[in-house]
Structure 1
Amino acid sequence: MEHILHILDWFLYILFAVNVLYLLVYSLASLRRCKPFASAPAKKHKCFAILIAAYREDAVILPTVHACLAQDYPDEKYDVVVISDHMQPRTNAALSSLPIKLLQVDFEKSTNTKSLKAALEYLDKDNYDIALVIDADNIIAPSYLSEVNNAFAVAGVRVVQTHRIAKNLNTDMAYLDAVSEEINNSIFRLGHANLGMSAALIGSGMAFEYPLFYDAMMSNTSVGGFDRVLEMKLLYKGVHFHYLPDTLVKDEKIQKANNFYQQRRRWLSAQYYSFFEFANHLLPAIRDGKWDFCDKLYQQISFSRVLLLGFVFIIALAYSLCAPSLACKWWGIFILLLLALALAIPRRYWQWRLLRAVCWVPCSFLLMLLNLFRLKEANKRFIHTEHGVD
């Protein structure tokens, strides 16, 4: 019996250690600033379709649209397309008065996938070079389109992910969410880009060659997390995702624990759904050297950072109380995990507020743990995150 427990201990240790070392490697890689690959202004202005799926987003949609219309970019070279789903008549009236394309839909079971596909069917495919997807709560600077256009002028660039940052830091939960997003940016985008890997997509602030996006989306049937399925499809085709760390898009951060619970449930469901959807492609991908796809598939099955922190800490603490001789190696990877996360946090977030925000981590762990038991139902319906800063 003792021998079996010893084997189980090492099995769990290796499982968690691989997760920790993965984060540490890319966190260290993010410490070097990646070189901008678009150093000169583009000679040609490509045509953009800015796609905004707006489900019950009355509180935030108008500032987002106004920011899109205020671009330092030729007006005739981009269209703002709002897909209005279950929004108030007064909001639709206000949108109708603006120089945008407004598509009103009324799905019985709404999803971002359905909204974006409706927009693609509505638009003339031949009129656009680039599809830019942003969330209804996002704010972009006037230079945003020009910077993305410069990136697409570089040979071989077909997909770019811009740098999503916090729009609000009004609560400790929002501050923690902002820090979490920047850790993701450091590890899964900047760190990956520095090592020549594809940056992770994030659901908004991402731009694609229009035909590429059209083909991938029209065959997408995901309920939540359309971006997960989208990136798996494109990575398997060998498409590389570039990262623009200096091109910013402001995104509203979660302010309350309940919204955190709902949002992370959608994210976890999408993560595991995409893994099982594409797991059968792993061996062909290894055979063909599609390492970006393999890397992304591993991300889908790996532990989220909050769960990883909680599980490693609990196991290390339990061994310290019951079997001290086995605890040292667990405390070792716990320290390495803390180091990986600390290195990935930008300097501007190292404030006293960070200590208060960290106090929400145990609560976040419990909420994520509960989410593990509710993933099946989460993929059957669209879970909407309410927006609007209190």
Structure 2
Amino acid sequence: MDFWIILYIIDWFLFILVGGTVLYLGVFSIASLFSRESVLSTAKIQNRFAIIIPSHKHDNVIEQTVVSVLSQDYPQRMFDVVVVSDHQSEITNMRLAQYPITLLTPDFAESTKAKALQYAILKLPEFKIYDIALVLDADNIVEQDFLTKVNDAFETAATKAIQLHRISRNRDTAAARMGSIFEEINNAIFRKGHINLGISAALAGSGTAYDFSWFKKNVMKAKTAGEDKELEALLLKQGYFIDYFDNILLYGEKKRTTTKMNEQHSRWTLQQIQNLIKNIKYLPGAIFRKQYDWADKLIQWMLLPRTSMVGILMVMSIVLPFIYMTMVIKWWILSSMALFFFALATPDYLVDEMWDRTFLRSPFVTLWGIISTKLIHRKKDNN
């Protein structure tokens, strides 16, 4: 086949794939600009919380998280803190044991968050009754009125699951600043933008509150490292709306190196592909039954991961001018649109003196992170 025909086919195939992703992101980034009334009504009752914190090799941060959770103005008799300390040091466990929490120390041969959550549920005393299961990460810090707000939000939402606003508490490296920006872009597009259009928000892996009875039954069905996406799929298939509360904050640590960040993104990409393969068969039925939240989630998993999208945009924008200038114009326009939509979805507080440098360098930092990650894995394989 002629070289130019092959080039045109590859060019337009990638352009349609990336263009569809950019269009989807654009619709919801614009929707995120509109404000939704999110005044919390004061809950009539104080629900009882089981706060589950899986902690796998997070010795340096878990104690801070426990202290912040125990410092709530919510009545302490109304919540129990369960820390699943997985492969952490004896010193860490001894320090944690000093606090009024339930400390579990499993020894998983292969650790996953799903296993930790399931272990916690199985170890909870049968005689204790809970209303809400709240899942936090080991590095999450919360404010003193956090549980009071979650209690109010859960009653306001009147559904089986709500997602709270995760926000970065460190922006001390280029990778951490990028992670902070990407986190907030995800919050804007996949949560706030969706809610504003009446579509379920995406779960974020932590800062999620579930109806306890639903969680206890359904978390046992999780099999992979992406347990939050499995639970999200179950909620949407069962017809439950996932609400999002932008004004209830919890703070987490971002990866400080591009290598770590890209390893994390690689795991997320793999989970996305696994979820798509497992669930794509449900798309026709979801559309036919008018399960639009579930159909939207399946379409969302069909989109290019943002890292891949940025990589393709950058490569095509740089390489094509050396082959045929006319072909690159549409890629420059698409790249400008993607950057514009990302800028729309970035909150004002992140637009500081470092924002321009971080935002404009992000494609190059991401690409170098991917290359360095591949080199490290190759070196490990050779050893």
Task: With the length of structure 2 as denominator, give the TM-score of the two structures.
Answer: 0.92
Distance in 2 between residues matched to 1:155 and 1:304, nearest whole Å: 30
- Alpha carbons of structure 1 residues 310 and 265: separation in structure 2 relative to 1, 3 Å: closer
Q: Deviations over 1:228-263 (max 9, x none)?
A: 111112111111110110100000011012221322
**Which one of 171, 174, 188 corresponds to residue 173 of structure 2?**
171
Corresponding residue SS for 1:50: strand
Distance in 2 between residues matched to 1:111 and 1:374, nearest whole Å: 23
Corresponding residue SS for 2:223: coil
Distance in 2 between residues matched to 1:362 and 1:288, nearest whole Å: 44
Instruction: Give the drift of 1:355.
Output: 3.1
Distance in 1 between residues matched to 2:263 and 2:331, nearest whole Å: 31
**Which one of 189, 192, 214 corresponds to residue 190 of structure 1?**
192
Mapping 1:82-161, distance limit 5 Å? 82-124=83-125, 127-154=129-156, 156-161=158-163
2:339 is matched with which residue? 338
- Alpha carbons of structure 1 residues 45 and 309: separation in structure 2 relative to 1, 3 Å: same
Task: With the length of structure 1 as denominator, give the TM-score of the two structures.
Answer: 0.90
2:204 is matched with which residue? 202
Distance in 1 between residues matched to 2:177 and 2:75, nearest whole Å: 36
Q: Deviations over 1:57-110 (max 9, x none)?
A: 111111100111011111111101101111112221221121111111111111
Distance in 2 between residues matched to 1:32 and 1:141, nearest whole Å: 26
Corresponding residue SS for 1:58: coil
Mapping 1:7-86, distance limit 5 Å? 7-36=9-38, 38-86=39-87
Distance in 2 between residues matched to 1:277 and 1:373, nearest whole Å: 31
User: What root-mean-square deviation, in Å, do the aligned CA atoms of Structure 1 and Structure 2 show?
Assistant: 2.1
> Conserved in 2, the CA contact under 8 Å of 1:81 and 1:119?
yes
Corresponding residue SS for 2:83: strand
Distance in 2 between residues matched to 1:334 and 1:191, nearest whole Å: 21
Corresponding residue SS for 2:136: strand
> Conserved in 1, the CA contact under 8 Å of 2:259 and 2:370?
no
Distance in 2 between residues matched to 1:335 and 1:78, nearest whole Å: 48
Percent identity over the alignment? 37
1:381 is matched with which residue? none
Instruction: Give the drift of 1:156.
Output: 3.0
Distance in 2 between residues matched to 1:92 and 1:263, nearest whole Å: 26
Mapping 1:146-295, distance limit 5 Å? 146-154=148-156, 156-222=158-224, 224-295=225-296
- Alpha carbons of structure 1 residues 368 and 61: separation in structure 2 relative to 1, 3 Å: same
Distance in 1 between residues matched to 2:364 and 2:65, nearest whole Å: 34
- Alpha carbons of structure 1 residues 267 and 372: separation in structure 2 relative to 1, 3 Å: farther
Corresponding residue SS for 1:127: coil
Deviates more, 1:134-143 or 1:123-132: 123-132
Distance in 1 between residues matched to 2:298 and 2:369, nearest whole Å: 24
Q: Deviations over 1:135-170 (max 9, x none)?
A: 001001111111111112126322110000011111
Distance in 1 between residues matched to 2:68 and 2:278, nearest whole Å: 37
Q: Deviations over 1:166-207 (max 9, x none)?
A: 111111211111111011111111111101111111100011
- Alpha carbons of structure 1 residues 6 and 78: separation in structure 2 relative to 1, 3 Å: same
Amino acid at match of 2:278: E
Deviates more, 1:152-161 or 1:211-220: 152-161
Amino acid at match of 2:184: E
- Alpha carbons of structure 1 residues 144 and 155: separation in structure 2 relative to 1, 3 Å: closer
> Conserved in 1, the CA contact under 8 Å of 2:314 and 2:363?
no
1:388 is matched with which residue? none
Instruction: Give the drift of 1:32.
Output: 1.0
2:323 is matched with which residue? 322
2:380 is matched with which residue? none
Number of aligned residue pairs: 373
Distance in 1 between residues matched to 2:376 and 2:173, nearest whole Å: 27
Distance in 1 between residues matched to 2:234 and 2:296, nearest whole Å: 13
Instruction: Give the drift of 1:17.
Output: 1.0
> Conserved in 2, the CA contact under 8 Å of 1:307 and 1:368?
no
Deviates more, 1:196-205 or 1:38-47: 38-47
Distance in 2 between residues matched to 1:298 and 1:370, nearest whole Å: 31
Amino acid at match of 1:254: K
Runs of 4+ aligned residues of structure 1 deviating over 4 Å after TM superposition are 2-5, 368-375
Distance in 2 between residues matched to 1:337 and 1:269, nearest whole Å: 23
Corresponding residue SS for 1:247: strand
Q: Deviations over 1:201-222 (max 9, x none)?
A: 1100011001111122111111
> Conserved in 1, the CA contact under 8 Å of 2:272 and 2:301?
yes
Distance in 1 between residues matched to 2:321 and 2:88, nearest whole Å: 54
> Conserved in 1, the CA contact under 8 Å of 2:20 and 2:303?
no
- Alpha carbons of structure 1 residues 87 and 317: separation in structure 2 relative to 1, 3 Å: closer
Corresponding residue SS for 1:76: helix
Q: Which runs of 5+ in 1 are unaligned?
A: 376-390
Instruction: Give the drift of 1:6.
Output: 3.8
Corresponding residue SS for 2:287: helix
> Conserved in 2, the CA contact under 8 Å of 1:175 and 1:357?
yes
- Alpha carbons of structure 1 residues 366 and 280: separation in structure 2 relative to 1, 3 Å: farther
